[in-house]
Structure 1
Amino acid sequence: MGDNTAVTTPFGAWRSPIDAALAASHDGHPEYVGTVGDEVWWTEPRPEEGGRRTLVRRRPDGAEVSALPAPWNARSRVIEYGGLPWAAVPRPSGGPLVVFAHFADQRLYAYEPDDPAGAPPRPLTPVSDLGGGLRWADLRLHAERGEVWGVLEEFTGPGPTAVRRVIAAVPLDGSAADDRAAVRELTDDRHRFVTGPRLSPDGRRVAWIAWDHPRMPWDGTVVMVAEVAGDGTFARARAVLGGPDESVAQAEWAPDGALLAATDRTGWWNLHRLDPAEADTDGGAGAGRPVALCPREEEFGGPLWKLGQRWFAPLPGGLIAVVHGRGAARLGILDPRTGELADAPGPWTEWDATLAVDGSRVFGVAASPYSSPEVVELDTRTGHARAIGAAHIDPIDPAYYPRPVERTFTGPGGREVHATVYPPRNPDHTAPDGEAPPYVVWAHGGPTGRAPVVLDLEIAYFTSRGIGVAEVNYGGSTGYGRAYRNRLRERWGVVDVEDCAAVAEALAEEGSADRARLAIRGGSAGGWTAAASLTSTGLYACATVKYPVLDLTDWSDDGTHDFESRYMETLIGPLAEVPERYRDRSPAHRADRVTSPFLLLQGLDDPVCPPVQCERFLAAVAGRGVPHAYLTFEGESHGFRRAETMIRALEAELGLYARAFGIAPPGVPTLELTDGTA
């Protein structure tokens, strides 16, 4: 921080110590926490190493070391958003054995990081040239059986929806490395989607979650239970919970053999307990009826975008660690006998869906508005919580961080709209009297998701320069119950656009934002909202649109990956019944209404929102004289992971605002815009 005298400088022209390289270096966070003996492991991003994710192991002495040398990349592509990509077990000698999915070829590899000979990872599964090949996620290593179990996603043809998924077992001896027939399928493929198997404490039963098109996992899933035969095969598989209109986000076995599940049968993802031996397919009457352990209008689960997410974890003594909340998710310890819930101490206000348990200790990933995600340990015996890995270190003076304000706005029809507002903040600058700041509305992806309130240097990159940010959890977002989530049903491109506009209008009306200098930005589904806002509201001076959905008709079916290929049936409606709705709401078919400048950012290897979406939109805008820029990035998929990409994208975005808002941020490269008429 500079001296105590703040310089009067127009909003947007403040000098900031947070440059794009600093923001990029802090992008991403630890994920998929687990315990391996007395060590804690997790995956962690390496933007400076081509965006790979490594496995980090925290030794008992507190040292953090990478368990995978470059270029090994522990990241799954199952359902394109991935899932738990590793499993490991300690051994009496020779150190741990780890199995992981390598991003480049999606094969499973076995690796012994403590091998004195330094042997490289050895493949366990074969390569398939058909479609997207063979992919694996949500792994469970059963060394005593000589196998690793997980979800196998297998392409059966060249198209993105020619795919089947089963739970399968892979031998650890490498006999399946070149032999698909040696991979043992444990379930049939009656369901389009499955999660990884959870083995009961006595090893006699197994549970998993399944669902089918056109439902997404937050619409309706079922919990399957089967008996495990002596040879490891699954028998008498049956549904014990869930259905078309009930979403079970997670299922786990309690130490006493009961089944625990986070289900939204009450309108909120609450934790329930049932006896699967007596439960029927719809959780009906009798001893098998699910019992709510802590009925609250809060979420104890979330949208299953990645296989292997854990919102709760049973402890050996019967208590349950839970991530819960309305909006923000915090860590608590639930006593299922009494329903009492005690929250963990500490400064962390947001916990991810990645919990692990070792004895009385609970491990997870947590953050706050003033700290980035770090690995945290809670000792349930002492009640003490501490950061043990990826510990937050302030790269700059925290005085440059924004101070978020969580607010509830009023949308059309008087409906509530939740948002977090980040006003400009920089100790070295103050704005001229009477000047209102420019603001950028951020629309999160999903759209079934939520923007967490955590320290994000991308946000600080703008607020420290005098540009406000408002993250909107529009109708359809998670964290506020099923009814709030269902507001977006068949109204995508309407409710999200209206709610973002309601927040922007309110900020302008109260004088917190300059009405003439409002922008909107988003990626993926948020990119759709940003583009749809440009074609329908006339409110924004410009928009940043990243790897977006722009043409619904093209995006449905084989226009995207299998997981979301039927998503539009709930967000828009069945294509066969409402084809005009698909066309009328698509920005690509409303390009004649675009008058404000925009920036398009696109990865060229994106299987979720392929570049053709942007190309068709640009073709529709061509010749209309609308200033714009289109930046593409080789080797980037859905979401940017390479440091150089994130730096270029962030600087280009600020460059757009400089042009549209008439500001001059110091040290920012000029963004060249074309009007498409040449």
Structure 2
Amino acid sequence: MEERIRTMVTTAPYGSWTSPIDARTVAAHDGRPAFVGVVGDEVWWTEPRPAEGGRRALVRRRADGAEETVLPAPWNVRSRVLEYGGLPWAGTVTERGPLIVFCDFADQRLYAFEPDSGREPRPLTPRSEVGEGLRWVDPVLRPELGEVWCVLEEFTGAGPTDVRRVIAAVPLDGSAAGHRESVRELSDDRHRFVTGPRISPDGDRAAWLAWDHPQMPWDGTLVMLAESTGKGEFTAVRPLVGDLGPTAPGGGATGESVVQVEWDADGSLLFVSDPGGWWELQRIRPGALDDGVVASRGLCPAREEEFGGPLWNVGERWFLPLDNGTLAVLHGRGALKLGILDPVSGDLVDAAGPWTEWTPTLAAHGSRVVGIAAGPDRSYEVVELDTCTGRARAIACRHTDAVDPAYYPRPRHRTFTGPGGRDVHAHIHPPHNPEHATSDGELPPYVIWAHGGPTSRAPLVLDLEIAYFTSRGIGVAQVNYGGSTGYGRAYRERLRGQWGVVDVEDCAAVARALAEEGTADPARLAIRGGSAGGWTTAASLTSTDLYACGTISYPVLDLTGWANGETHDFESRYLESLVGPLAEVPDRYRERSPLHRADRITAPFLLLQGLDDVICPPAQCERFLAEVAGRGVPHAYLAFPGEGHGFRRAETLVRTLEAELALYARTFGFPRDDVPPLELRD
């Protein structure tokens, strides 16, 4: 097919190329599977359904390979704890078949479900009329106690920060469905944030993570340890390892970040922490837990790569102990690979296959390890590794080419030089379409993509949204600016006190380098991003004339407002590390905010916002638009009822993607008759 296409090349300007990748195709393939688990001999996970209102479906793969969606619409298996959620389900096998406990997005209650019984899910937890109610995440089934243990997030008032979090035990018999007092609290609320408990093999101990404002979990966390009685009560609760750290200049912490903790079969405690500047896998022997002398040992030392990542979702897993004494680990520098680690010899063998990026979710059954992975030419799949044979294969959500793969981008990773000679990592996706070429001498337009977080990173995997643009003759550069994860603690802390400076400079450094080397047209550069990437986009448009236009999605635009109650509790003090404490540097909050620099914006822009967004609320967009009004800057604002932080519905994804292309067509001056024109107002 590709060879046939090559003989039919049409010369046309960049941006005007025809492509089989339309917005509806992109929307239909948006999102990825998540939260894989093993129930008996079956593999379960959640997956997105853009065409069903953007819900997350719970899917089951039986031992014979047959797949089924176990809960029909409108069931939506998704937690809102910390707003970003986390592990929303757990399962076990009883004499009646699988027993699943899950959180439903609509009311955030826990439900018990026996899919082979023919009965509907039954609620386990009550409703609450206080604030945003009761929410649950990271469940651990304890059928021997007749309970499920998990994180309870309980609102105590109407404000977004009127909230407490504890580890709680919920009866499986449904007796707490109408009675809050039937929920047992296992931990106290001494810490603002906790993860779900990990239970030792003998059931006598529990360990979990905890941290407090103003730290984020990648700044400083603690491993908490408790004795667990036969009745399932916590005693002798104490911190074990980790460090919340002292307050550093500019805000935040300089502590030790532990992002995962698990028990090994011998009763030792395994955890991932970063005292040496990289997230490393470590072990504490059982004797150290008993005598109080805590000495950990690195299991794979002297490797400058990450064995963990930022804990945005409660219940993420970067490693898992296996029955044979080895460990399944995700590790790498700038990308995560799946490997099997022998903790005695230190040998680490990576799984073979086309997958170059694994997400932090792992499950194990005997010699099999199950995870979720993708690559530059394939979407995220559920992958199974047989550790006995070394064979890995996709077993579910198998990648199928939505269009001829000849239209996919041909990306490459590059490292650029930023201000002061610092490294800036980026993935470059040049325009690519086997049916089209351009006239000699024309340089392509390029769009700089700023990822969200900002303590996150952009993976190098197949993304049809990128292919939508590259197949039309528009290049894409995904920038993992300073502050991104995957390159060690020093790299991610470049953004400390410098949000709106380092991220803006690093994106600009990549854009300028592409223009100076003749890869991109310097007159046709754009920038786009969502959430924290929306902030970087808006900050770039209000501080530089480098970009001809920009697309700003669900952004932070007013730092002072965001720090004064306009966001959720989890990130309510995030700015203390990103910018500095408001009381100490109030001028910095005003000077960097795009809201207060609106008079400097000259480039056309598209602003996209979900009206149900509680993380970056629409009020910020409305204030920004009021400042821009009447200044002669062409712009469009599209707001979407029913959408929150990040768009999930197919119709929204189609509208936003086509509007973005229409903005580039209008600004860069190439014809496009396959999308509705974008009406811009001054």
- TM-score category, normalised to shorter length: over 0.9
Q: Match of 2:645? A: 638
CA distance in 2, matches of 1:148, 1:201: 17
Q: Deviations over 1:378-406 (max 9, x none)?
A: 00001000000100001111000001110
Unaligned runs of 5+ in 1: none
Pairing 1:36-47 to 2, within 5 Å after superposition: 36-47=39-50
Structure 1 residue 663: Cα displacement: 1.1
Cross-structure match for 1:503: 510
Residue of structure 1 in register with 2:51 after alignment = 48
The alignment partner of 1:14 has SS state of coil
CA distance in 2, matches of 1:656, 1:99: 45
CA contact 2:413–2:426 (8 Å) conserved in 1? yes
**Aligned match of 1:257:** 267
Aligned to 2:248: none
CA drift of 1:287 comes to 5.5
CA contact (8 A) 1:13 1:666 kept: no
Do the aligned residues in 2 keep the contact of 1:225 with 1:276 (CA within 8 Å)? no
The alpha carbon displacement at 1:557 in A equals: 3.8
Could you say which residue in structure 2 is the equivalent of 1:290?
296
2:256 is the counterpart of 1:246: yes
Q: In the alignment, is the contact (CA less than 8 A) between 1:149 and 1:196 conserved in 2? A: yes
Q: Contact between 1:240 and 1:276, CA under 8 Å: does it hold in 2?
A: no
Instruction: Tell me, yes or no, if the aligned pair for 1:161 and 1:557 is still in contact at 8 Å.
Output: no
2:10 is the counterpart of 1:7: yes
Q: Aligned partners of 1:325, 1:243: CA distance in 2, in Å?
A: 24
CA contact (8 A) 1:157 1:163 kept: yes
1:277 CA drift (Å) = 5.3
Query: What are the equivalent positions in structure 2 for 1:513-528 lying under 5 Å apart?
Result: 513-528=520-535
* CA deviations over 1:16-51 (Å, ceiling 9, x no partner): 000000001111001000000000000001100000
In structure 1, what is the Cα distance between the partners aligned to 2:64 and 2:321? Answer: 26
Distance (Å, rounded) in 1 between the aligned partners of 2:608 and 2:514 = 27
Superposed CA deviations along residues 451-488 of structure 1, whole A, max 9, x for unmatched, are: 00010000000000000000000000000000001000
Alignment check: 8 A CA contact 2:418 2:509 kept: yes
Query: Runs in 1 of length 4+ with deviation above 6 angstroms?
Result: none
Residue 166 of structure 1 aligns with which residue? 166
Q: Is the 8 A contact 1:276 1:288 kept in 2?
A: no
Inter-partner Cα distance in structure 2 for 1:604 and 1:221: 33
RMSD over aligned CA atoms reads 1.1
3-state SS of the aligned residue for 1:90?
strand
Structure 1 residue 665, shift from structure 2 partner? 2.6
Partner of 2:346: 339
Alignment of 1:408 with 2:415, yes or no, is yes
Q: Paired residue for 1:202?
A: 202
Matches within 5 A, 1:612-651: 612-651=619-658
What corresponds to 1:606 in structure 2? 613
SS at match of 1:528: helix
- Residue identity opposite 2:276 in structure 1: T
C-alpha displacement of 1:417:
0.2
Task: State the alpha-carbon separation in 2 of the partners of residues 67 and 143 from structure 1.
Answer: 21
Q: Which whole-Å deviations, capped at 9, do the CAs of 1:600-659 have from their partners, x for residues lacking one?
A: 000000010000010011011111010000000010010000000000000000011011
Letter in 2 for 1:105: D
Q: Is the 8 A contact 2:145 2:231 kept in 1?
A: no
- Equivalent residue number for residue 584 of structure 2: 577
Alignment deviations for residues 101-132 of structure 1 (CA, whole Å, 9 cap, x no partner): 000000001111111xx321111100111111
Distance 1:129 1:287 in 2: 46
Does the aligned pair in 2 maintain the 1:37–1:90 contact within 8 Å?
Answer: yes
Alignment of 1:410-559 (within 5 A): 410-559=417-566
Unaligned runs of 5+ in 2: 245-254
| Residue 95 of structure 1 pairs with residue 97 of structure 2 | yes
- Give the corresponding residue for 2:251: none
SS of the residue aligned with 2:514? helix
- Give the number of aligned pairs: 668
The answer on whether the counterparts of 2:332 and 2:486 sit within 8 Å (CA) in structure 1 is: yes
CA 438–148 in structure 1, closer or farther in 2 if over 3 Å, else same: same
Aligned to 2:75: 72
Q: CA 1:641 to 1:362, structure 2 compared with 1: closer, same or farther past 3 Å?
A: same
Shift of 1:5: 2.1
**Equivalent residue, structure 1, for 2:249:** none
Q: Which amino acid aligns with 1:600?
A: L
Q: Which secondary structure state, in structure 2, belongs to the residue aligned with residue 506 of structure 1? A: helix
Counterpart residue type for residue 37 of structure 1: G
Q: 2-side partners of 1:403 and 1:329: how far apart?
A: 20
Contact 2:267 2:286 in 1 (8 A): no
What SS is found at the alignment partner of 2:493?
Answer: helix
Counterpart in the other structure of 1:155: 155
The alpha-carbon deviation at position 176 of structure 1 amounts to 0.3
**Equivalent in the alignment of 2:112:** 110
Alignment partner of 2:281 out of 241, 247, 271: 271
Deviation of 1:90 after TM superposition, in Å, equals 1.1
Task: Give the residue type in structure 1 aligned to 2:295.
Answer: R
Find out whether 1:178 has 2:178 as its counterpart. Answer: yes
CA distance in 2 between partners of 1:319 and 1:253 (Å): 13
Is 1:465–1:665's contact at 8 Å kept on the other side of the alignment?
no
Q: Is 2:132–2:155's contact at 8 Å kept on the other side of the alignment?
A: yes
Number of the residue aligned with 1:227? 227
1: distance between equivalents of 2:376 and 2:628? 39
Aligned-pair CA distance for 1:286: 9.1
8 Å contact from structure 1 (residues 15, 666) kept in 2: no
| Residue identity opposite 1:278 in structure 2 | A
State the partner residue of 2:66: 63
Distance in 2 between residues matched to 1:220 and 1:288, nearest whole Å: 18
Q: CA deviation at 1:276?
A: 5.9
**What secondary structure, in the 3-state scheme, does the structure 2 residue paired with 1:99 have?**
strand
- State TM-score, norm by structure 2: 0.97
Aligned residue for 1:371? 378
TM-score normalised to structure 1 length: 0.98
Deviations 1:476-518 (A, max 9, x none): 0000000001000000000000000000000000000000000
Letter in 2 for 1:65: E
Q: 2:88 is matched by which residue type in structure 1?
A: P
Q: Deviations over 1:562-597 (max 9, x none)?
A: 000000000000000000000000000000000000
**Equivalent residue, structure 2, for 1:134:** 134
The corresponding residue for 1:84 is 87
Query: Would the aligned equivalents of 1:154 and 1:163 in 2 still touch at CA under 8 Å?
Result: yes
